[in-house]
């Protein structure tokens, strides 16, 4: 079991969505919570709201910029010394056909969703290895397993995170390190990030989703898919012909049309 009490916890994209809720839940468990976000107003509002709950610390960081990540990591190490729990939560999505993407949109999707979690983890991992203690939670997506039209860059970034995260887990186990890695793959969450999305399965509720992520960390879960029914996706992909899988999941369940009326907002998960 991983406890949050008296632990230094960093949550990226923590000023809104499930990141903000997870920050509150960690504070209520007695954690020393460090929040990174690109939204300064969101950080200020969050600090004012949560300062009476516990030890909350906010940093304005654009994790699409490696130089800002490195500076923020050094600032955290100077102020807090080490990190116990890292939750790579921040993410961005662009809902359009791949040929409509600009170079900047592709680079930002891969930068925020893929490279940033890897860089942040690598920069904090040395301390965890030295202390032989830590927990890393990476928020992937059900898009880590399902191909979805009008989400090609996002899907690519999340497929990468899924594979990297679980490989990192195996590396820590192979090295006999007491460092846990939890990979979370939620369906669309009703935070505003996926405004306009429609499918047979309703969007996940942010409060319940955040609580499940925190519990997954506490229980040292290797993988947490949400909703539970989506755990069958890998089985179906393995046993069904591609066209039949496309028909069932894409057409009948509506996944291939889910982004048709996407509006969204550029916020973290």
Q: Which residues are catalytic?
A: 154
What are the residues facing 134 on neighbouring strands? 179
Q: Which of 155, 22, 167 is nearest to 91 (CA)?
A: 155
Which residues have a Cβ under 8 Å from the Cβ of 154 and sit 6 or more positions away?
92, 93, 94, 109, 113, 141, 143
- As a residue count, the chain comes to 269
CA distances from 188 to 197, 226, 230, 244 (A): 8, 9, 12, 23
Which residue is associated with the tokens 């839940």? 25
56-60 and 223-226 beta bridge pairing: unpaired
């Amino acid at each position: 079991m991983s406890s949050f009490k008296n632990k230094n916890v960093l949550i990226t994209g923590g000023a809104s969505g499930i990141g903000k809720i997870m920050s509150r839940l960690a504070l209520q468990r007695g954690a020393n919570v460090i929040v990174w976000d690109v939204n300064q107003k969101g950080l200020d509002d969050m600090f004012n709201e949560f300062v009476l709950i516990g030890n909350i610390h906010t940093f304005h960081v654009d994790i699409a910029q490696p130089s800002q990540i490195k500076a923020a990591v050094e600032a955290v190490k100077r102020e807090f010394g080490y990190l116990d729990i890292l939750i790579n939560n921040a993410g961005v999505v662009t809902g359009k056909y791949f040929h409509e993407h600009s170079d900047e949109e592709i680079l930002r999707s891969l930068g925020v969703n893929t490279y940033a979690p890897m860089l942040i983890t690598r920069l904090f991992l040395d301390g965890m290895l030295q202390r032989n203690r830590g927990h890393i939670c990476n928020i992937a997506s059900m898009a880590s397993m399902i191909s979805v039209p009008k989400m090609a860059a996002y899907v690519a970034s999340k497929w990468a995170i899924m594979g990297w995260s679980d490989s990192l887990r195996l590396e820590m186990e192979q090295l006999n390190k007491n460092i846990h890695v939890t990979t979370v793959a939620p369906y669309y969450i009703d935070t505003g990030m996926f405004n306009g999305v429609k499918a047979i399965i309703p969007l996940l509720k942010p409060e319940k989703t955040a609580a499940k992520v925190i519990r997954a960390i506490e229980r040292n879960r290797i993988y947490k898919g949400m909703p539970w029914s989506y755990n069958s996706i890998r089985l179906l992909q393995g046993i069904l012909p591609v066209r039949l899988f496309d028909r069932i999941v894409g057409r009948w369940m509506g996944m291939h049309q889910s982004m048709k009326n996407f509006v969204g907002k550029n916020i973290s998960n």
